[in-house]
Amino acid sequence: MSHPYDAIVIGAGHNGLTCACYLAKAGLNILVLEQYHTVGGMTVTEEETLPGFWSDIHASGYQLANLSPVPHELGLLHRYELIEPEIPFSHAFPDGGIISVHCDIEKTVARYLATPTRKPRHGAT
């Protein structure tokens, strides 16, 4: 009995797709399976809250791609650009507060040194 695939990759997130690309580049016939409605895993951007408001669903470490050999090894930079946003990570809190991490560490530190200290809430110290 012959099998149509040399390997099956479960999950079409960043790591699954990267694995599948390397296996295919080695000449294997690959099947990638994903249960979510789109590929990309933790790099997916969707209109999660309101129309027109796009959110990175889980992406917090995607900027590490700038340090990885994968985009070069797989020839991705001929078709795609690695972006480096000024503020790669922000988080909004229910009380209206926000935390943002800038690419420039001095800007991040200066921002928080200029922000008034908040009072602890709900018994926190």
**What are the pLDDT digits (tens) for 52-101?**
888 777 765 556 667 788 888 999 888 888 777 788 777 778 888 888 88
pTM greater than 0.75:
no
Alpha helix stretches (DSSP H) within the chain? 14-25, 70-73, 105-113
Please check the confidence at residue 19 and state whether its pLDDT lies above 50: yes
Statement to judge: residues 67 and 55 lie in one domain: yes
Q: Hey, how many other C-beta atoms are within 10 angstroms of the C-beta on 94?
A: 5
Look at the chain and report how many structural domains it folds into: 2
Residue 69 and residue 11 share a domain? yes
Q: Are residues 56 and 20 both part of a single domain?
A: yes
Task: Mark whether 29 and 90 lie in a shared domain.
Answer: no
The residue ranking higher by pLDDT, 19 or 102, is: 19
Which tokens is 125 given?
């110290």
Query: What is d(CA 42, CA 61) in angstroms, rounded to the nearest whole number?
Result: 9
Examine the domain organization and report whether 69 and 113 are in the same domain.
Answer: no
Q: Which domain holds residue 65?
A: 1-84
Rounded Cα distance, 114 and 98, in Å: 14
